Amino acid sequence: MESPPHARPHRKRRQERIGCADHRPAGHWGTVRPALDIQIGHELDDGIGQPNQKPLHSSRSRPATRARSPPGHYGNAQDPPTFWPSASIPAGQEKRLAGSPGACAGRLTPETPDLSSPPISWNPVARPPAFLLSFSHQFSRREFMKTEAAFARTTCPKTMAARLRTARARRLLPLLLLLALPAMAQAQYNYTVTNGVVAITGYTGPGGAVTIPSAISGLPVTSIGYEAFDGCRNLTNLTIPNTVTNIAFGAFANCTSLTNVTIGDGVTSIGDSVFYGCTSLTSVTIPNSVTSLGDGAFANCTSLTSVTIPNSVVSIGDLAFDGCSSLATVTIPNSVTSIGFGALGGCASVYFQGNAPGGGGSASLGAGAAVHYLPGTTGWGSTFGGCPTALWNVATATPRLYNDFVVGATVTDGGFGYTNAPNVRITGGGGTGAQAVAVVSNGTVIGVGILNAGYGYTNEPVIVIAPPFIPQPMMGIAALSLLSFTNLAVGADYQLQFLSGNTWANLGGPSTAASSTFTQYIAGTASPNGYRLTTSPVPEQAYATAQVVNGFAVGATVTTGGAGYTTNPAVTILSEGAGSNATAVATVSGGVVTGVTITGAGFGYTKAPVIAIAPPPENALWPDVTAAVELDLQSLSPYDNYQLEFTAVAGGAWTNFALPFVPTSTVSTQTVVVAGNAGFFRVKYVP
């Protein structure tokens, strides 16, 4: 039975699908890009000056009424198909196709194929959610007088190889669209390029979760410019890459929907007002690379409840956290040396890990704020920044002994600020092996439980509870010289002296030699000839005056007996004018000159001559000098372990220097001999 005429075109199309022709039907083709408008770039001329609209065709899936169309069928983009005979499409008019394009194309089909037509020109316009096709070729009305069957006619692969090629092409199209996405994302940024690096100056994207690219057009993004994202109220999450080193004034100010920020490790400075007025921001962690927070950096972030400031930050600018009314507590690391005016206005409690920083004005903190500082830190008075100060208490406890066992502990001060159970050490008392654990509730130590009673405790040991946190230790360094003396007489008394001008002065008091060697550290760089070790009492010069009668020297009075004389010294009488030939001898007792006797009166002395007594023997020892350094350590946790480390070059590998040490207070001084090598030291807490 012969099929009705209206069915034949469909069979014909199915036959064409399995044919072998590998070409597209007559028409002008263009690729559909995601989120673009369809734009016809020229009027459609009917040949007599009357422009008319013709349907634009798309390979998108058809409604149910056209479900029988085979894959690859190109039907009208508008259903049912219309020719809009009474309207025109002026140059630049846009036609939107809703939905996502998938793997599709669009075409305008003339009535008669014209293989000599010029190529289609594209000009995509990013206006989601639609597709854009832009054609520059001009068509006549006659070219578009085509039946529906002609519109539907398409050429599909007719061989297996061709069909496979088409399948691969359809799979590759989504991949090509994905590859285009980075370029589309980068188009959301305005930027400048200087010396091969990119500075982002503006943002035109839709907001939401934004990850700033680390590179644009292959060049690294190193800075976020002046007010680049200012007022982006749809921005909710922000990630700044590690390539960025600087964030300029107001870069993210007034982003009122911003709740979370991840700042890359490359940022060294957060400029003025960078996050000003980000009223939805609840927490922020500043990376260890940042050294300064600018004026008003987080001002008026009214929802901010938590901020982590690393030990790399040195200065905090004026009003940095002003108006952060939800920020109950903030911890300032011991690296901070300067805090600007009103920097912490609105914070209820501020905990300082180091010495009192400078730069704070009378309104550095909010009204009624409490300032807490650690034991052993310096520079604190009764107030800071107009607010009262209090010691940041560390929990304490005392042990209970039974026989020589530690059987219990009593908390005498629970401290505050504990977020985890602190480490507990039991030391001293003559015993060993006792162990304990702390129990914390609401930031306070409420109990200490004994895990191991140990043994041999003849005296009460000390229970040391670690502070709420282990602060980063601070270290100062100063040059020293190590003086080394040998060949001392054991049991003899010696005095260390230094050369002051042309005379020797005592350094400290005398000491008795316990061995044949003696060492002493001296501040600064010492000369081997600038110090000596002499016997004690230290040899001192004796002095006397002469009496003259009728031109004769008739007597002498000892004014200073000196010290260190082992024999009677020689005496010389020196004339101060006329006179000569007077002589004398000295008498010594106990190393001291006790008298001078005139043995020859001489003659002609018109004034008293000078009696010069020979000095005692020096009997001095001279040192070997070795360069050394003094390491002044602060902010230590008593009875915890610390390790000095050394490297010979900046950026080199750190190695342990000597054995770990255990300080008994928050400060410690370590003296280190530098064996002819320059280098760098640091101290680390060892859990």
Based on the fold, state whether residues 212 and 314 are members of the same structural domain: yes
Based on the fold, state whether residues 71 and 159 are members of the same structural domain: yes
Question: In this structure, are residues 573 and 609 in contact, taking their beta carbons and an 8 Å threshold?
Answer: yes
Based on the fold, state whether residues 126 and 50 are members of the same structural domain: yes
Does pLDDT of 646 surpass 70? yes
Q: What is the pTM of this model?
A: 0.46
* 140: phi then psi, degrees, rounded to nearest 5: -95, 160
Does pLDDT of 132 surpass 80? no
Residue located via tokens 């058809």: 62
Instruction: Flag whether 511 is in a domain.
Output: no
d(CA 322, CA 607): 85
d(CA 177, CA 102): 9
Based on the fold, state whether residues 21 and 76 are members of the same structural domain: yes
pLDDT band per the 50, 70, 90 thresholds, residue 19 = very low
Amino acid letter for position 194? T
pLDDT for position 402: 93
Q: Average pLDDT for residues 204-229, to the nearest whole number?
A: 93
| Cβ neighbours, 10 Å, residue 652 | 11
Q: Average pLDDT for residues 35-39, to the nearest whole number?
A: 37
> Tens digits of per-residue pLDDT, 284-312?
889 989 999 999 999 999 999 888 888 89
Based on the fold, state whether residues 173 and 204 are members of the same structural domain: no
Q: Average pLDDT for residues 316-323, to the nearest whole number?
A: 90
pLDDT for position 393: 77
pLDDT for position 335: 87
Instruction: Flag whether 420 is in a domain.
Output: yes
Length of the chain: 687
472 vs 467: which has the higher pLDDT: 467
Based on the fold, state whether residues 23 and 154 are members of the same structural domain: yes
Based on the fold, state whether residues 47 and 176 are members of the same structural domain: yes
pLDDT band per the 50, 70, 90 thresholds, residue 45 = very low
Based on the fold, state whether residues 274 and 138 are members of the same structural domain: no
d(CA 82, CA 89): 14
Does pLDDT of 78 surpass 70? no
> Tens digits of per-residue pLDDT, 508-533?
889 999 999 999 999 888 888 899 99
137 vs 466: which has the higher pLDDT: 466
**Beta-strand relationship, 292-293 and 269-270:** parallel
Would you state the structure tokens that stand for residue 671, as one six-digit string?
A: 């003296």
DSSP string for 250-303: TTTTT-TT--EEE--TT--EE-TTTTTT-TT--EEE--TT--EE-TTTTTT-TT
pLDDT for position 35: 36
Please tell me the least confidently modeled range out of 241-255, 332-346, 544-558, 574-588.
332-346
d(CA 203, CA 185): 11
pLDDT for position 368: 62
What are the Cα distances from residue 250, in Å, to 184, 263, 299?
26, 15, 11
Half-sphere exposure of 244 (CA within 13 A, CB side): 26
> Tens digits of per-residue pLDDT, 598-625?
999 999 998 889 999 998 887 789 999 9
Among candidate residues 583, 617, 651, the one where a domain is terminated:
617
* Percent of the chain surpassing pLDDT 70: 71
pLDDT band per the 50, 70, 90 thresholds, residue 682 = confident
d(CA 623, CA 78): 103
Question: In this structure, are residues 357 and 377 in contact, taking their beta carbons and an 8 Å threshold?
Answer: no
d(CA 177, CA 156): 23
pLDDT for position 27: 41
pLDDT for position 377: 80
Based on the fold, state whether residues 413 and 431 are members of the same structural domain: yes
Please state the separation of Cα 64 from the chain's center in Å: 62
* 82: phi then psi, degrees, rounded to nearest 5: -135, 155
Instruction: Flag whether 504 is in a domain.
Output: no
Q: Average pLDDT for residues 326-331, to the nearest whole number?
A: 83
pLDDT band per the 50, 70, 90 thresholds, residue 63 = very low
Instruction: Flag whether 272 is in a domain.
Output: yes
Considering 106-120, 555-569, 634-648, the range whose residues carry the highest mean pLDDT is 555-569
Please state the separation of Cα 676 from the chain's center in Å: 33
Does pLDDT of 149 surpass 70? no
pLDDT band per the 50, 70, 90 thresholds, residue 247 = very high
Q: How many structural domains is the chain composed of?
A: 6
Among the listed residues 615, 599, 601, 595, the one whose alpha carbon sits nearest the alpha carbon of residue 545: 595
Would you state the structure tokens that stand for residue 595, as one six-digit string?
A: 């008298």
Going through 414-560 in order, the beta strands assigned E by DSSP cover 424-427, 435-441, 444-452, 462-465, 474-485, 493-500, 503-506, 511-512, 518-523, 531-535, 543-549, 552-560
Instruction: Flag whether 81 is in a domain.
Output: yes
Based on the fold, state whether residues 145 and 223 are members of the same structural domain: no
Among candidate residues 347, 372, 392, the one where a domain is terminated:
392
CA end-to-end span of the chain? 94
Instruction: Flag whether 358 is in a domain.
Output: yes
Does pLDDT of 209 surpass 90? yes
Question: In this structure, are residues 258 and 210 in contact, taking their beta carbons and an 8 Å threshold?
Answer: no
Please tell me the least confidently modeled range out of 83-87, 244-248, 389-393.
83-87
**Three-state SS at 395:** coil
Range of the domain at 110: 1-184
Does pLDDT of 494 surpass 80? yes
Q: What is the mean pLDDT of the chain?
A: 75
Q: Average pLDDT for residues 225-236, to the nearest whole number?
A: 94
Does pLDDT of 38 surpass 70? no
For residues 350-380, one letter each, b for 16 or more C-beta atoms within 10 angstroms of the residue's C-beta and e for the rest, the string is bbbbbbbbebbeebbbbeebebbbbebbeeb
pLDDT band per the 50, 70, 90 thresholds, residue 183 = low
pLDDT for position 124: 38
**Three-state SS at 233:** coil
CATH of the domain at 246: 3.80.10.10
pLDDT band per the 50, 70, 90 thresholds, residue 28 = very low
pLDDT for position 476: 84
| Cβ neighbours, 10 Å, residue 20 | 10
pLDDT band per the 50, 70, 90 thresholds, residue 161 = low
d(CA 347, CA 363): 12
Among candidate residues 327, 342, 375, the one where a domain is terminated:
327
Based on the fold, state whether residues 211 and 358 are members of the same structural domain: no
Instruction: Flag whether 622 is in a domain.
Output: no
**Three-state SS at 587:** strand
Does pLDDT of 635 surpass 80? no
d(CA 164, CA 171): 11
Instruction: Flag whether 524 is in a domain.
Output: no
For residues 86-100, one letter each, b for 16 or more C-beta atoms within 10 angstroms of the residue's C-beta and e for the rest, the string is eeebeeeeebebeee
Based on the fold, state whether residues 211 and 350 are members of the same structural domain: no
d(CA 292, CA 294): 6
Please tell me the least confidently modeled range out of 138-142, 253-257, 584-588, 662-666.
138-142
